[in-house]
Amino acid sequence: MVFTRKGTDTATGQTAKREHADGDKAAKRSKAKGGMAMAKKETASATTTKKEKPHMPSQRQMSKKGYGPGETMFGIRFTHPDKVMFPKAKLTKANLAQYYLDIGNFIMPYLNDRPLTIVRGIRGATDERQFVQRHPPAGLHPTMKHGKIKQKDGRTLEYMYAEEAMALVAAVQMDTVEFHAWQAKFQSPNHPDQLVFDLDPGEGVTFSTLVEVARAMRKVLEDEFHLKSFIMLTGSVGLHIVCPLHPPEKTFDVTHDFAKGVAYFLEVAKPSIVTAKPGKPSRIGKVFIDYIRNSYNQTSIVPYSTRARPEAPVATPVDWSELDSIKAPNQFTTKTVLERVRSASFKDPWKGFGAVHQHIPQDWRDTMSKLLSSAPGSSSSSAH
């Protein structure tokens, strides 16, 4: 099932409920008919496909005009390589594919073996008819894997996942402009191995206020729950705070309820600048903490993915100490992020992310109750 950015099923005309493929309004909610309720016992099986050795074109080949509609590039049939996908960056479809090969060592650890949702735009980042695709389309190149995940109602649905950067090139061939991933691995779809808090600024919120809220959340996570967190510029308008969870949690109920508790505590602690309520009126002048990313079958933007904006901005992991010098969440583009990671002075701010061993404390509700009881305006509050 495929939904347009306006939330309409292209096959049936059915209107879908709204979803943020992340909290920056990068995509819309695309639930299959009948709903995808939280599953308690999911099983997954991946198809086995033959890998092809990629052909790496030279920069001269990349910029050469006159490729035919079915020309082979990157070892696959790659159509319309000269089509401009990001107009302000003058980034073509072939340039975009090359970006994902170049950034492959950095992006793959964060999407490897995770069910993916892709945002596609036939006319690129400015295409008003962009659509969100959760399930593999016909003609998908075998470098992009896919397999079945069993749903609570007994159905099995196909999802895509990647094991190598060439899979991202195959997705670009289908005019993919963004990659979003689950908070769980394909083989264990109901066991989240990371927490994601999406900090989405409302109208009138400055970047400095956004950073203030992010730092307040970091302090709560580390001081009260002993959770190490990492920060990322989303490439759109917000920030993501991510906590790796190893070993993974037992269910999404755990991560969802904990994330909701943290979001509402910060709303109580900083009522003038934070809200945990999604409605637009409550978000004016405040930072909305979107905790819904931590539900089953929900996604968030993948680190180092491009965003569907004309300048080709990139979701970029940064160090907490860098926030003082950063001007905006969309500061880095495909060009500048590659310059950043290739710099001799570059130190990966998320180094060790996958080696962090931590979990949500079993007594987190007790801790949250104590925090709320001591917070300003807490007399009428609860841990929700």
Domains of the chain, residue spans:
72-182, 194-298+307-334+350-372
CATH topology of domain 72-182: DNA primase, PRIM domain (3.90.920)
Tell me the pairing of strands 131-133 and 116-120. antiparallel
Contact 200, 238 (CB under 8 A): yes
Residuewise pLDDT in 10s, the chain (384 residues): 444 444 433 333 333 333 344 433 433 333 333 333 333 333 333 333 333 344 444 433 433 443 445 568 898 999 999 999 999 999 999 999 999 999 999 999 999 999 999 999 999 999 888 999 999 998 889 999 999 998 778 889 999 999 999 999 999 999 999 999 999 999 999 999 999 999 999 999 999 999 999 999 999 999 999 999 999 999 999 999 999 999 999 999 999 999 999 999 999 999 999 999 988 888 899 999 999 999 999 999 999 999 999 999 999 999 999 999 999 999 999 999 999 999 999 999 999 999 999 999 999 999 999 999 987 765 544 444
Contact 118, 22 (CB under 8 A): no
Please tell me whether the overall predicted TM-score, pTM, comes out greater than 0.85 for this model. Answer: no
| Lookup result for tokens 């939280």 | 38
In angstroms, the Cα distances linking 165 to 117, 121, 237, 302, 344 are: 16, 20, 26, 13, 23
Contact 222, 215 (CB under 8 A): no
- CATH superfamily, region 194-298+307-334+350-372: DNA primase, PRIM domain (3.90.920.10)
Do 72-182 and 194-298+307-334+350-372 come out as alike in CATH topology?
Answer: yes
In angstroms, the Cα distances linking 126 to 85, 86, 96, 202, 339 are: 8, 7, 15, 23, 25
